[in-house]
Amino acid sequence: MKVLIVGGGGREHAIARKCSESSRVTELFAAPGNAGIAELATCVDISVMDSESLIAYAKEKAIDLIIVAPDDPLVAGVADDLENAGFKVFGPKKNAAIIEGSKAFSKDLMKKYNIPSAAYETFDDPDAAIEYLETAKMPIVLKADGLALGKGVLICNTLEEAKEGVKTLMLDKQFGKAGDRIVIEEFMTGREVSVLCFCDGTTIKPMASAQDHKRAKDGDKGLNTGGMGTFSPSPFYTDEVDKFCKENIYQATMDAMKAEGRDFKGVLFCGLMLTPDGPKVLEYNARFGDPEAQVVLPRMKNDIIDVMEACIDGTLDKIELEFEDKAAVCVILASDGYPEHYEKGFVINGLDTFKDKEDYYVFHAGTKKTDAGVVTNGGRVLGVTAKGADLFEARANAYKATEWIEFENKYMRHDIGKAIDEQ
Ligand code: AMP
Ligand code: GLY
């Protein structure tokens, strides 16, 4: 089977690696891919948003399955375009990807179907938003309705901050049209857990749990980023929490989407907060998380192609997802300055150290192959993942492996997985 992966970050490298381990894959392709993916797949310089070129390329290469991994093309309907052109596609259609594309949509869905989440109000008018804030309890959370590179969420401790936030999102339009509408939400406390679930429109099967570290600096300080590291499983995601979520969140979401005529097929990412009142949904994403995929997929025992096909064909009930008992930790190596200003083009040394080392992985997030070798080409550069018998061993292994890599301005957090000391 010939498989085309649409995307070019660490998540897509983790997906490519898992595909390359499938006995059913004969040839892998990626658009646009990156220097790491290029070791497993033929990479072609086509934008993830360019349906027309993707279709032409997939026809030329007689692709059997296309995996659309990032949020932007899914929300824009690229999976629909590819499917309409006759291809088998893994990834939700536009009318289902809206669960990530519009926070107002997802909040209304949860309210309508009694799925636990924070109380909220939606506003199109900045004056009405400010009037509401005048009597609201602080801290409070403001969210741009649309996609904002994971940065459209503002946690405001005072009324002044909240008013400033409304200005940033709705008037200054820091995230463009994404902020035309905002959701103002109750502030919740608790541990965060990410649970990615395979879905076939009717059946939903959760993968192993994971936890991300969104802030740039140690101690959860600094700006929000795409994610600085992950671990899996989360020790806080107990059997009791799992049971509650299966009964009240996962299947309820799948059924709600079906009832709305928006069958969700693909990966539904449930961002959960384990609050004192029980688990609640923080957000949904319509895809694998990045860097959650870099710890969850290396632990998955199933052939990913079997699972993806079952999602497309509506036979996921026949699949039993299996994960290794080993834990995994991923530490992101970034370029100093990320997520603001950083330089690119530094030569990366040490990548070969990972070759043939079982339980160690180096996923490329922002890299490029040049005559001088592989160079940094983004804010998040690499994801170093290691497995271990438990989370402590996995974390020690991952940090050991970060030392194998060298590049100028290398930056990482030193407290990925710190939460496991507190369990
Ligand atoms: P989101 O993109 O919705 O996941 O939000 C990004 C981050 O903001 C989350 O990972 C949480 O840390 C935080 N956050 C979002 N919503 C809330 C909330 N209602 N209460 C507390 N923190 C929140
Ligand atoms: N790691 C969070 C996300 O992929 O959105």
Please report, for the domain that includes residue 162, its CATH number.
Answer: 3.30.1490.20
Ligand 2, pocket-test mutation among 72, 74, 215, 292, most atoms within 8 A of CB: 292
Of 186, 219, 239, which one is at a domain's C-terminal end?
A: 186
d(CA 244, CA 278): 8
Of 158, 186, 214, which one is at a domain's C-terminal end?
A: 186
Q: How far is CA 318 from the centre of its chain?
A: 26
- 84 and 132 belong to one structural domain: no
Q: Is 95 helix (H, G, I), strand (E, B) or coil?
A: helix
Determine the distance separating the centroid of ligand 2 and the alpha carbon of 292, expressed in angstroms. Answer: 7
Give me the sign of the Cα torsion angle 369, 364, 268, 179: negative
Task: Name residues whose C-beta falls within 8 Å of residue 405's C-beta, 6 or more positions apart in sequence.
Answer: 333, 348, 349, 350, 351, 353, 362, 382, 384
Residue 230 lies in a domain: no
- 92 and 123 belong to one structural domain: no
Ligand 2 atom at shortest distance from the alpha carbon of 227: 1
Ligand 2 atom at shortest distance from the alpha carbon of 285: 5
Determine the distance separating the centroid of ligand 1 and the alpha carbon of 195, expressed in angstroms. Answer: 15
Residue 346 lies in a domain: no
Ligand 2, pocket-test mutation among 285, 288, 363, most atoms within 8 A of CB: 285
pLDDT computed for residue 152 by the predictor:
86
- 90 and 9 belong to one structural domain: yes
- The ligand 1 site (C-beta within 6 Å) comprises 118, 141, 150, 153, 155, 185-188, 192, 214, 271, 282-283
pLDDT computed for residue 148 by the predictor:
85
Nearest CA to ligand 1 atom 5: 153
Residue 281 lies in a domain: no
pLDDT computed for residue 151 by the predictor:
75
- 7 and 63 belong to one structural domain: yes
- 12 and 74 belong to one structural domain: yes
Determine the distance separating the centroid of ligand 2 and the alpha carbon of 252, expressed in angstroms. Answer: 22
Nearest CA to ligand 1 atom 6: 153
The residue segments making up the domain with residue 26 are: 2-98
Residue 226 lies in a domain: no
Determine the distance separating the centroid of ligand 2 and the alpha carbon of 227, expressed in angstroms. Answer: 6
- 11 and 94 belong to one structural domain: yes
| The amino acid at 176 | G
Ranges of beta strands (E only) in 258-310 are: 265-275, 278-285
Nearest CA to ligand 2 atom 5: 289
pLDDT computed for residue 224 by the predictor:
86
pLDDT computed for residue 396 by the predictor:
98
Determine the distance separating the centroid of ligand 1 and the alpha carbon of 332, expressed in angstroms. Answer: 21
Residue 220 lies in a domain: no
Determine the distance separating the centroid of ligand 1 and the alpha carbon of 210, expressed in angstroms. Answer: 16
Mean pLDDT, 10 residues at a time, over the chain (423 residues)?
Answer: 98 98 98 97 98 98 98 98 98 98 96 97 95 95 88 92 95 90 96 98 98 96 93 98 97 98 98 98 97 98 98 98 98 96 97 95 96 96 98 98 98 96 85
- 33 and 86 belong to one structural domain: yes
Ranges of beta strands (E only) in 26-70 are: 27-32, 42-43, 65-68
Residue 6 lies in a domain: yes
The number of domains in the chain is 2
- The ligand 2 site (C-beta within 6 Å) comprises 150, 212, 227, 285, 289-290, 292
Determine the distance separating the centroid of ligand 1 and the alpha carbon of 284, expressed in angstroms. Answer: 11
- 8 and 73 belong to one structural domain: yes
C-alpha distances out from residue 197 to 206, 220, 283, Å: 4, 26, 14
C-alpha distances out from residue 158 to 63, 118, 385, Å: 53, 19, 39
Determine the distance separating the centroid of ligand 1 and the alpha carbon of 258, expressed in angstroms. Answer: 26
- 6 and 84 belong to one structural domain: yes
Task: Name residues whose C-beta falls within 8 Å of residue 417's C-beta, 6 or more positions apart in sequence.
Answer: 229, 231, 329, 391, 394, 395, 398
Q: Is 366 helix (H, G, I), strand (E, B) or coil?
A: coil
Determine the distance separating the centroid of ligand 2 and the alpha carbon of 226, expressed in angstroms. Answer: 6
Ligand 2, pocket-test mutation among 75, 194, 273, most atoms within 8 A of CB: 194
- 137 and 178 belong to one structural domain: yes
Residue 172 lies in a domain: yes
76, 66, 56, 145: which is closest to 108 by C-alpha? 145
Ligand 2, pocket-test mutation among 12, 197, 212, 330, most atoms within 8 A of CB: 212
Ligand number with the minimum distance to the CA of 292: 2
CATH of the domain at 71: 3.40.50.20
pLDDT computed for residue 318 by the predictor:
98
Residue 17 lies in a domain: yes
- 16 and 89 belong to one structural domain: yes
Of 140, 159, 186, which one is at a domain's C-terminal end?
A: 186
Q: Is 237 helix (H, G, I), strand (E, B) or coil?
A: coil
Determine the distance separating the centroid of ligand 2 and the alpha carbon of 290, expressed in angstroms. Answer: 5
d(CA 147, CA 176): 10
